[in-house]
């Protein structure tokens, strides 16, 4: 446990991302690698001209025009990115992180994170990025794709950092949350913090039994565990519990369903991220 990969785009969430990163790093004495992506979004056209005609060398002229236009724009983006990374380094070092490295890369966040996370133990990113519309409760465009693609736990930073004092594991009995429990027990990350273990949805004796099993495992690992089972819609039950018990970190398995199914029935994960205003540690 000694390497954290932090993704930033310098948006509204950035300061909170750095604070979450600094907290996570301090728990385990980790080095932090801050990544800023320059994605020129070439799938979108910046220039367009509906004159619809073809003259002598239209192709070559078009190429020159596009290159010149993007040159200016992307040089600015690069400078801005440098400033963002400088700011990240300053804030992280001020928060006591000793080993900070920064990196600026061209390309898409999702592909880059999948390549970079090999040697990281935790990925930190913000709930929303610069392109997301806060008012509509839309989540960051990259968030779901990164979580789905990532093989590491992803800490999704909320807008404001609140010191983390107690955490809740949304225990749905699925394989991802089993991974989460393993991670909580094995890493120094959440050691010593009070743990709530919550099972929501349909409650029967089997669910109850599994919940107690997990609670017992965590107690063996010297966690102070409160296990509860509450019937009801998982998203509602969990966000209610988060508010009521003063939970400052939610741990859950993410995106148990395929995209197709999600399209039809919606996703608890997305719902949780929208309604809970606490950071979430996601396992996929």
Rounded to a whole number of angstroms, the distance between the first and last alpha carbons of the chain is 18
Tokens encoding 100: 């900070």
Min separation Cβ 51 and other proteins, Å? 4
268-275 and 234-244 helices, crossing angle to 10°: 30
CA distance 23 to 46: 40
Which CB, 53 or 205, lies closer to other proteins? 53
CB of 41 vs other proteins, minimal distance in Å: 8
Give SS3 for 57.
coil
Min dist. Cβ of residue 259 to other proteins (A): 9
Q: How far is the CB of 284 from other proteins (least distance, A)?
A: 17
Q: What are phi and psi of 182, to 5 degrees?
A: -55, -45
Interacting residues with other proteins (CB under 8 A)? 40-45, 47-60, 62-63, 66, 70
Question: CA 8 to CA 255: how far, in whole Å?
Answer: 23
* Least gap, CB of 71 to other proteins (angstroms): 11
Q: Two tokens at 73? A: 């724009």
Please identify, using beta-carbon distances, which residue of 41 and 244 lies nearer to other proteins. 41
Whether the CB-CB separation of 160 and 232 falls below 8 Å is answered with no
Q: Residue 273 has which token pair? A: 């991220």
Sequence-separated (6 or more) residues with CB below 8 Å from residue 259: none
Q: Based on CB atoms, which residue is closest to other proteins, 148 or 277?
A: 148
Q: Which is nearer to other proteins, 61 or 236 (CB)?
A: 61
């Amino acid at each position: 446990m000694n390497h954290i990969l932090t993704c930033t785009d310098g948006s509204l969430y950035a300061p909170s991302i750095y604070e979450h990163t600094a907290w996570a790093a301090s728990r385990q004495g980790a080095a932090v690698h801050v990544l800023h992506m320059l994605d020129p979004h070439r799938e979108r056209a910046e220039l367009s001209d509906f004159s619809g005609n073809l003259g002598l060398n239209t192709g070559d002229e078009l190429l020159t025009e596009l290159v010149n236009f993007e040159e200016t724009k992307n040089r600015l983006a690069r400078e801005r990115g440098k400033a963002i990374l400088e700011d990240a380094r300053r804030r992280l070092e001020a928060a006591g992180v000793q080993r900070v490295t920064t990196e600026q890369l061209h390309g898409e966040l999702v592909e880059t994170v999948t390549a970079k996370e090999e040697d990281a133990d935790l990925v930190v990113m913000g709930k929303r990025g610069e392109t997301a519309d806060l008012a509509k409760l839309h989540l960051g465009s990259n968030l779901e794709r990164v979580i789905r693609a990532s093989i590491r736990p992803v800490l999704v930073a909320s807008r404001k950092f609140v010191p983390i004092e107690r955490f809740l594991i949304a225990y749905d009995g699925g394989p991802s949350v089993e991974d989460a429990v393993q991670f909580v027990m094995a890493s120094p990350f959440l050691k010593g913090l009070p743990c709530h273990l919550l099972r929501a949805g349909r409650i029967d004796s089997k669910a109850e039994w599994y919940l107690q099993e997990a609670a017992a495992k965590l107690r063996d690992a010297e966690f102070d565990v409160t296990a509860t089972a509450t019937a009801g819609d998982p998203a509602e039950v969990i966000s209610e519990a988060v508010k009521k018990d003063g939970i400052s970190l939610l741990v859950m398995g993410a995106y148990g369903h395929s995209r197709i199914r999600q399209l039809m029935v919606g996703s608890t994960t997305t719902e949780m991220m929208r309604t809970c205003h606490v950071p979430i540690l996601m396992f996929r």
